[in-house]
Amino acid sequence: MKKLFAFVATLSLSISVFAGDMVVHTGNGYAVIHPFPTRSEVKEMTSPCVLDYGNKTEEFYRFDLSSKGNVKVKSTEKSSWVEKKYPSVKSITHTFKDGSISKFIPLYEADNKAYIKGTIKKDDSPAWFYLLLEGEISIYFLSGIGPYTGLTKAGAPPILYLHRKGDDFAVKVSKATSVGAEFALMPEVIAEFVKDNAELAASVKAEKKLPSKNETSIGTLERIIREYNTAKEANK
Output the DSSP codes for 35-75: PSPPHHHHHT--S-EEEE-SS-EEEESEEEE-GGG-EEEES
Whether residue 25 is contained in a domain is answered as yes
Whether residue 9 is contained in a domain is answered as yes
pLDDT at 235: 86
Q: Is the pLDDT of residue 78 over 50?
A: yes
- The chain-wide mean pLDDT, for the chain, equals 76
Q: Quick one: DSSP state of residue 156?
A: P
Whether residue 112 is contained in a domain is answered as yes
Phi-psi region of 75 (alpha: psi -120 to 50; beta: other; left: phi over 0): alpha
pLDDT at 158: 62
pLDDT at 37: 58
Element (H, E) at 12: helix 2-19
- Residue 25: φ, ψ to 5°: -80, 130
Q: How does residue 162 score in pLDDT terms, banded at 50, 70 and 90?
A: very high
Whether residue 173 is contained in a domain is answered as yes
Q: Is the pLDDT of residue 224 over 60?
A: yes
Please count the structural domains in the chain.
1
Range(s) of the domain holding residue 15:
2-180
Q: Calculate Rg over the CA atoms of the chain.
A: 17
Whether residue 228 is contained in a domain is answered as no
pLDDT digits (tens, 9 = 90+) for 43-61: 555 567 889 999 999 998 8
Question: Between these two residues, 99 and 115, which has the higher pLDDT value?
Answer: 115
Query: In whole angstroms, how far apart are CA 183 and each of 34, 211, 224?
Result: 22, 8, 16
pLDDT at 5: 29
Whether residue 26 is contained in a domain is answered as yes
Distance CA 6, CA 21 (A): 24
Q: Is the pLDDT of residue 197 over 80?
A: yes
Helix pair angle (217-234, 198-206), 10° resolution: 170
pLDDT at 34: 59
Other Cβ atoms less than 10 A from the Cβ of 191: the count is 20
Round to the nearest angstrom and report the end-to-end CA distance of the chain.
49
Whether residue 148 is contained in a domain is answered as yes
pLDDT, mean of residues 151-173? 77
Nearest CA to 171 out of 184, 157, 145, 190 is that of: 190
Distance CA 8, CA 135 (A): 26
Name residue 143's amino acid: S
Question: Between these two residues, 10 and 193, which has the higher pLDDT value?
Answer: 193
Question: Between these two residues, 97 and 58, which has the higher pLDDT value?
Answer: 58
Whether residue 38 is contained in a domain is answered as yes
Task: Give the pairing type, strands 137-142 and 160-164.
Answer: antiparallel
